[in-house]
Structure 1
């Protein structure tokens, strides 16, 4: 695997040390380890352990810098052929996220802090896997950032035990009693409360020495001055040493009798805690965040309320007065570190997350509407599943009307149903569903809908590869899009052209339908109630395309004329349509010579699956360009297809037996849902022409 880790800087700190440890372990195991940062003291150590380093100013949080860093990170990903980008902080995570989207690399994050609930932090929840060092941070990411539980992985930080020498506290206890705090000097780390606690402890411990290890960033210089003034005011100046940043933490810990972690806000983990425990140093820590995962109060350390100097002093005094307690805590903590918190354990667990990301891929197909077009995607969906295989989990996003088409599709692992026409109408609904899809962690999106909504949803999903047509309707958001040639084969072949980047080509695949036994029974019940004999020849006629596309409809009087011709051959007719078209069907039946030979099935099929089963009972099916026509083709029923305002070259579904009847006029195909010329293209189709086509197919 080729792994790129990205973080703000490589100066001394828990995140930085963990990054170097992991990179070294990856290199030792034969993987390519690359780190991007703004540089720092640990770069030489990183490179000495076999990893590569690229220096970029990714630590800056300005929007301009975030945008500016996308292209350089993208270039590194392509140059080093990176498989996974592992972001360890928010500022560099943003350009890394967009670089992954442009390159297809997998984006992984580790949450090293208890982030505030604002937009800048959201990117840390967008990884395909979100690594957390403790249960508290995991719960925080789920509750406050909506990260699904199945995308969170618990990987505690680890220390290289070879770098720390364990010495029982009673064996190194000498005068003075050294108490230290290690970490950046910021208000979050609780230095003020630590100093106040040490002032109380000094009344109990005569030979107290206080070590403050770490320095303040430039933005917190005033806070450091406040800390220095407090130290003087409390009379601790002579026994307190401000040691600044120390590279060799193991040497510092070897001289400490007690470590205090006085942080006031939830810590993600507290690496310095396990470093102290690996050295045999007892720990007193605030009971916040991930610290409670490391320390069991009274067993592996002592926990105190945050921002409570008196409790800090009392806990430290217990350690000072009771050497046996100190040894018992240190031994139990060291045993826990050896079993759970080693650098080897951390690297192994992280590698498992990486392997999981590469081996368990997820693809999303978008087909929002309409029912007929949804049927046309069945062949392409089957081809996608065959190509991707079991290594991909295949999901499909569709609208409420198309739910029944895909409900029993054997190629779909997850069916996601949205309602962008009503409940989630408008931009707010698009953004809502974009967030839902982003949480799905999809590697690829195949957009069969190819409109502005679907293209925007594809982009908002954060998938690395986005396939579809670049058709001017926000098609530029598809980074694997193809040019749309609308007059290029039939509708199924047109769907397959989207799959070109996957190496999938159309080779005559047939449409599919997936009804169950209950659908077949419902269709048979319609015929049984009409006293249809088993050997009765049936011809189906679909009386309407849709409420919107009235221009596609064949006039009712023409349908009645065809029925009269069919009934003269002892053929019974099944009229299909919606509940709204039932009255129209009744009028047609009332106008024919043999009304008892006609079955009004309009509105008697609950969904497209039952309709398809009913159509399957017919010897021939007659329909204009509609969902029923597509369902008949999928069921393999011989077709007479009536076309007028639309082009059969683009919309005729593949069928083994089909006759197309079309009256070509100067204005057709016009693609107008409503015709002001009384639909001359459809009214020009005679019942005799359709009857002749039916007879040819039946013979």
Structure 2
């Protein structure tokens, strides 16, 4: 099957990461993939070494005539079996181009806040397939009146080859940070702002450090409250056991250095890619029971679900995870769980099946 993906957002967002992962999944499954994207952006950089054919355009908004013209030209040249879009400003242009060329259109919605009234009504009904990335998100759209039959679910795929348990890499990262090989490393990867639950996590982790001298925290990411988080760690009694690395483009190689991943969001999350990436690397997860996050792990088997914002519950869970006999079975179950539900092969097959059914 031949696909034309259209995604001209230059930013590093969850939608962009999904766009890249799905395109790569289809390529690995033997499909032909063409991509219209922004030159120099994350999508172009990530797909540059793949067999995807890259074309360049930009959309300032849904009414950008130049962007529509450029995508229409590529679509006429490629003649895809499906047009695929991930970003709101390209929904209407793709629907119109698809109707013009009689090419079916698959659109993904990664956020649960409502679209504008016309788009909220028209896009799910005019797209050939409209996808949510979790059952939680799907229910949010149904609650707003979108008919049940029009909203499909396709989870984010994860490339298992990029998230591997790697003992050598684990040792190298830990030694560079002055962390001993027998340490227990609690990792966080993501944006640093209050809605992500970072202050709950640092309070709970610091309290757990008082009970477990081998416990360290590895913080990956940046954001508007990164400085406040660093200041809180520096003012605490265990400052030397909080390690801040800032923004890391290739987070996959750092999962091996973690014993456990924390996903402590307080605000609702549509899904939670870092949870499945960590499990793919054999790392169990402790996560907030909020939004679509529970769909990313097998509670009690590959990780734990906790009440968001509850410092005492998080402290207790972190302490439990410091027990190797408790943690090891979850670590062993994590990668097979991801392979069965979220691997690129599984998601690519599910996508094609939903398009053709």
Task: Give the conservation status (yes or no) of the 8 Å contact 2:307–2:313.
Answer: yes
Could you tell me how far apart the structure 1 residues matched to 2:290 and 2:97 are? 35
Which residue of structure 2 aligns with residue 315 of structure 1? Answer: 317
1:21 aligns with 2:28: no
Whether 1:136 aligns to 2:143 is no
Determine whether 1:336 maps to 2:337. yes
Task: Please say which of residues 297-306 and 237-246 is displaced more in the overlay.
Answer: 237-246
Alpha-carbon deviations, 1:205-241, whole Å to 9, x = none? 324322221233xxxx4x3333333333445543333
User: Structure 2, unaligned stretches of length 5 or more?
Assistant: 172-179
Q: Which residue pairs with 2:78 in the alignment?
A: 80
The yes-or-no answer on 1:160 pairing with 2:142 is no
Is residue 4 from structure 1 mapped to residue 11 from structure 2 by the alignment?
no
Paired with 2:62 and 2:12, the residues of 1 have a C-alpha distance of 26
Q: Contact between 1:134 and 1:268, CA under 8 Å: does it hold in 2?
A: yes
Alpha-carbon deviation of 1:193? 2.5
How do 1:526-541 and structure 2 match up within 5 A?
A: none
Deviation for aligned residue 1:344: 0.3
2:50 is matched with 49
Deviations 1:536-556 (Å, cap 9, x if unpaired)? xxxxxxxxxxxxxxxxxxxxx
Per-residue CA shift, 1:134-188, capped at 9, x if unaligned? 22112112112x22222222222222222232479xx999343211111233444
Change (3 A) 1:51 1:63: closer
How far off is 1:345 after superposition?
Answer: 0.4
Structure 2 residue 227 is matched with structure 1 residue 193: no
TM-score by length of 1: 0.45
- 1:202 and 2:201 are equivalent in the alignment: no
Which structure: larger Rg?
A: 1
Question: Match of 1:149?
Answer: 148
1:340-351 paired onto structure 2 within 5 Å: 340-351=341-352
Shift in Å at residue 10 of structure 1?
6.0
Structure 2: how far apart are the matches of 1:125 and 1:308? Answer: 37
- Seen in structure 2, the aligned counterparts of structure 1 residues 258 and 27 have a Cα distance that, compared at 3 Å, is closer
**5 Å matches for 1:290-689?**
290-320=292-322, 322-356=323-357
- Rounded Cα–Cα distance in structure 1 between residues aligned with 2:152 and 2:79: 25
**Distance 1:13-1:2 versus aligned 2 partners, 3 A rule:** same
Match of 1:180 among 187, 190, 201: 187
Are the equivalent residues in 2 in contact too, given 1:74–1:102 (CA < 8 A)?
no
Task: Give, in whole Å, the separation in 2 of the partners of 1:68 and 1:195.
Answer: 47
> 1:95-114: per-residue Cα shift (whole Å, max 9, x none)?
33343344333221223233
Q: Could you report, residue by residue, the CA deviation over 1:632-660 in whole angstroms, capped at 9, with x for unpaired residues?
A: xxxxxxxxxxxxxxxxxxxxxxxxxxxxx
Structure 1 unaligned spans of 5+: 357-699
Partner of 1:267: 269
- Structure 1 position 229 matched with structure 2 position 231: yes
Match of residue 124 from structure 2: 125
Displacement after TM superposition at 1:24 (Å): 2.9
Structure 1 position 42, deviation (Å): 4.9
| Alpha-carbon distance in structure 1 between the residues aligned to 2:354 and 2:194 | 34
C-alpha separation in 2, matches of 1:185 and 1:71: 38
The secondary structure found in structure 2 opposite 1:48 is coil
* Cα RMSD after superposing both structures: 3.0
Take 2:113 and 2:190, find their aligned partners in 1: how far apart are those partners?
18
Say if 1:133 and 1:268, in contact at 8 Å, map to a contact too.
yes
For residues 229 and 6 of structure 1, what CA distance do their matches in structure 2 show?
Answer: 41
Aligned to 1:248: 250
- For the 8 Å contact 1:74–1:100, the answer to whether it is kept is no
Cα contact 2:124–2:151 (8 A) shared by 1: no
Which of the pair has the greater relative contact order for Cα pairs under 8 Å at 6+ separation?
A: 2
Q: Distance in 2 between matches of 1:335 and 1:118?
A: 40
CA deviation profile, 1:667-699 (whole Å, cap 9, x unmatched): xxxxxxxxxxxxxxxxxxxxxxxxxxxxxxxxx
Deviation of the 1:78 alpha carbon: 1.9
Deviation (angstroms), 1:261 = 0.6
